[in-house]
Copies of this chain bind each other. A is one copy, B any other.
Amino acid sequence: MTTDVKPSSRERLLEAAATLTYREGVNIGIEALCKAAGVSKRSMYQLFAGKDELLAASLERRASAYVAGLLPAADDGRAARDRIAHVFERVTSQSADPEFRGCPYLSAEIELKDPDHPASRVARQVKADLTSFFRAEAEQGGAGDPDFLARQLTLVFDGASARAGIGAEHLDGFLAPTVAILLDAAGVR
């Protein structure tokens, strides 16, 4: 048996923090996090320096899975335009889940309101990575101004997840054609 039946305390804490802060917001209490993780507060404070660091670590841990769930495979042979569209198809399908509350990294930055908070730094980096992906694909796709297009796509990504996350917009059949307009205008074929 190579798979543990029960993840480590550290992993359970990170998982609980990711789940609960996403659902309830970053103001969720330490007590609730530890209870959900089945870990004592004492142990939590031996594993993490404090709430801020736990929060940052939980966002960071999720980052690779989050980005992986959004981005297409590194080289799937598809055209840049399709690879960009893939990201927006993913967020569209994610938004169909009633538990969807928008991009956790955007929410964290908005809720924290402190760019120096460790979790804000992690969130910023995740967004920067997404923009970098867009920029690379835009370049690959022959966009007239790849940087400009990448920023537009990130803006649309955040706007779409924010609005879908608060239940104000329904992305299916809406987001893809909107993105297509920007890709067309940028000369990505």
Contacts and interface: CB of A to CB of B under 8 A. Distances in A.
B102 A110 contact: yes
Interface in A7-35: 23-25, 27
B127 A168 contact: yes
A111 B25 contact: yes
A66 to B, nearest CB: 17
B113 A110 contact: no
A94 B105 CA distance: 24
Nearest to A102: B110
Given A25-B111, A185-B185, A178 B163 contact: no
Oligomeric state, in copies:
2
A128 to B, nearest CB: 8
Interface in A171-188: 174, 177-178, 181-182, 184-185
Contact of A159 (B25, B115, B156, B166): B156
A87 interface: no
15 contacts: A23-B113, A106-B162, A106-B166, A109-B166, A109-B168, A110-B165, A110-B166, A115-B167, A124-B166, A124-B168, A155-B160, A159-B162, A178-B182, A181-B181, A185-B185
Interface of A: 23-25, 27, 101-102, 106-107, 109-111, 113, 115, 124, 127, 148, 151-152, 154-160, 162-163, 165-169, 174, 177-178, 181-182, 184-185
Q: Which 6 A-B residue pairings sit nearest by Cβ, starting from the closest?
A: A159-B159, A155-B159, A181-B185, A109-B166, A158-B159, A27-B27
